[in-house]
Amino acid sequence: MKKKLSLIIAFVAAMALSAVMLAGCGGGAATESEPQGAPAEGAEFIVGFDQSYPPYGFVGNDGNYTGFDLDLAAEVAERNGWTVKYEPIDWDAKDTLLNSGAISCIWNGFTMEGREADYAFSEPYMLNGQVVVVKKDKGISSFDDLAGKTVITQVDSAALDVLEGDKAGLAATFGKLETIGEYNTAFMQLESGAVDAVACDLSIAQYQMSAKPDAYVMLDETLSSEHYAVGFKKGNVETAEKVSQTLKAMYEDGTIEELCNKYSEYGLSFENWLIK
């Protein structure tokens, strides 16, 4: 009987140990929240970005990846001794890629509002907002004129979040709210007349209007005001703070202003920069 009891106790202990080990390897929310250190010098810094998001990240005329955020990331990496790598991602898969370690951060006009509990963010570095763009001379000059119209936005975007949240009442007046994989195609549909309006980031609107000043107009009313920040895996506060400190140093030595001026032709303004 004593031997049998000893075997039972040993079995229970083994099961308890297995449960602890499984919990530690499970990859659930608790694991994702564990504190993490900043990359060591020489480590790879993999930047996840949407390659169809000018002027923050896109494919240049030479076929290479370029953009304001990618230039920022490259400079931050160089100053910290990291090796930068650009990784174009499917925006729907960004969280899976970040939590698995396939990318180090999401750095591409990434709105932090409403996501604060899900990521470790850098300080907000750029002022942004959600706006609506329409074709000129189409009789649409206010939100009221969007009643019965077809509005399109990017899937899993800040604009979609607003239209399904705070501005759900406005969206209910639309004839249809459509989503699409990336904004370049959305504006092609606007230009062709397939849709009546595009709901998007202010930066995207400024870029599209600077490229075709005679084609589009932005409504005076805005859907929201928000900020861009660099998103890291939840718990990776140390890297987020390191990036913020480096961006501040880049502002102080004039690098930020130089990069803003480089992309000013795309509608990007130094006046919207925040980390100082």
- Helices and strands per DSSP (H, E), number in the chain: 10, 14
Mean pLDDT of 197-204: 93
Where residue 32 falls among pLDDT bands split at 50, 70, 90? very low
The verdict on residue 264 lying in a domain is yes
* H runs (alpha helix) in 143-236: 158-164, 168-171, 183-192, 202-211
Percent over 70 (pLDDT), the chain: 87
Mean pLDDT of the chain: 88
DSSP 273: B
Asked if 218 and 243 sit in the same domain, the reply is: no
203 has a pLDDT exceeding 90: no
In the chain, the amino acid numbered 141 is S
Closest C-alpha among 183, 223, 229 to residue 205? 183
253 has a pLDDT exceeding 50: yes
Asked if 59 and 196 sit in the same domain, the reply is: no
Closest C-alpha among 116, 132, 134 to residue 124? 116
pLDDT tens-place string over residues 54-65: 899 999 999 999
The verdict on residue 3 lying in a domain is no
Exposed, middle or buried, 122 (CB in 10 Å: 0-12/13-18/19+)?
Answer: buried
Point out the domain boundary residue: 205, 226, 247: 226
The verdict on residue 51 lying in a domain is yes
The verdict on residue 220 lying in a domain is yes
Asked if 55 and 75 sit in the same domain, the reply is: yes
CA dihedral (142, 146, 152, 156) positive or negative: positive
46 has a pLDDT exceeding 80: yes
Mean pLDDT of 243-257: 98
Asked if 214 and 101 sit in the same domain, the reply is: no
Q: Label each residue of 27-91 as H, E or C.
A: CCHHHHCCCCCCCCCCCEEEEEECCEECCCEEECCCCCEECHHHHHHHHHHHHHCCEEEEEECCH
23 has a pLDDT exceeding 80: no
pLDDT of 265 reads 86
Where residue 33 falls among pLDDT bands split at 50, 70, 90? low
Asked if 77 and 195 sit in the same domain, the reply is: no
CATH for 211: 3.40.190.10
Asked if 237 and 115 sit in the same domain, the reply is: yes
**Cα 175 to Cα 158: distance, rounded to the nearest angstrom:** 21
Diameter of the chain by CA atoms?
92
For 256, the domain range is: 44-125+229-272
In the chain, the amino acid numbered 50 is D
126 has a pLDDT exceeding 60: yes
**Cα 258 to Cα 238: distance, rounded to the nearest angstrom:** 27
Where residue 35 falls among pLDDT bands split at 50, 70, 90? low
**Count of domains for the chain:** 2
